[in-house]
Copies of this chain bind each other. A is one copy, B any other.
C-alpha cells in the first residue's frame, strides 16, 4: 500500500491500475477510521482490483462554529488499518492541495439537502457535494462506497451523481453497530462513559419505531412522539426525529411503503445521528 499526498500522484497510480485492466474503488473518508469505514474498504477490496481510500477533513463542509479543528486526525492508525484491510492507496491531501485557490465553483443539490441535518448545518452539504465531485474527478473510480450511517449524505450523493451524469456507481453500505447497537461513528470517542450508555437511546428509539411499524402502526406523528420520549428519557437534546421517503427524504405522514426513520441528537456536547430503513415486511 502506498500513501500519497498530491493529486498528480494519485492520478498516476490510478492510471497505471486502470491500464492493467483493473476496476477502481474509492472510499472517501475524513479519517478517524472505525469498523464502519472498515466495512466500506472491505467491500471495495472484495469487488475492485484497486482500492483508494481518501482521508481528508474537508474544511468546506464544516460551519464556523463546528468542530473542524477538534475533528480527530489519526493518519498513522488509519494507514495501518487500511493496509490491514487490503487497500492499495491512501490519498491524504492537504487543504492547500485540494483548495489551492479561492473556491468559486460549488456543486449544490437542492431540496434533499434542506431538511434534517441540512436545516441546522447551512453550507454543509454544499461542501460535501463539492468535495466529492473533486474527489471523483481526481480519482476517476468506477465505484465509490458510502455508509448508510450518513443517510442524508448518501441520498444527496446518489442524487448528485444521477443529476450530473457522473460516470461512476455509488454503493451505499449498511450501518455497522457496536454489539449493544450504537452506530459506529468517529465522534463516539468524545462520549464519557455515562454518555456512552445514554447514547444507546438512538438505536433503541429506531428499533422501537420499526417494531411498531411491523406491528401495523402507520401514523408517523405518533411514532415520532414515541421515539422522542425514548430519547428524552436519556436527556438527549433532540435536533430532529423524522420518518421520510428513502430516496427523496420527503416526510411521510402515513406509512404505506418502505420508509427511513432518522434521529439526530446531542448528548453532552456530542452530536450523534442514526437511522433505520424500515420495510413493511421486515421482522
Contact = CB atoms under 8 A, between A and B. Distances in A.
Interface residues of A, number: 28
B165 A101 contact: no
A283 interface: no
Contacts of A106: 107-108, 110
B167 A105 contact: no
Contacts of A166: 137
A103 interface: yes
Quick one: copies of this chain in the complex? 2
Given A137-B167, A140-B167, A167-B137, A162 B107 contact: no
Nearest to A248: B104
Contacts of A133: 164
A134 interface: yes
Output the residue of A11, A129, A134, A164 with the most chain B CB within 10 A.
A164
A98 to B, nearest CB: 8
Contacts of A7: 165
A103 to B, nearest CB: 6
Output the residue of A11, A104, A159 with the most chain B CB within 10 A.
A104
Contact of A105 (B104, B134, B137, B163): B163
A112 interface: yes
Contacts of A130: 164
A43 interface: no
A215 interface: no
Interface string A152-179: 0000000110111111000000000000
18 contacts: A7-B165, A101-B162, A101-B163, A104-B111, A104-B112, A104-B159, A104-B163, A105-B109, A105-B159, A105-B163, A105-B164, A106-B108, A107-B108, A133-B164, A134-B165, A137-B166, A138-B165, A138-B167
Interface of A: 7, 11, 101, 103-112, 129-130, 133-134, 137-138, 140, 159-160, 162-167
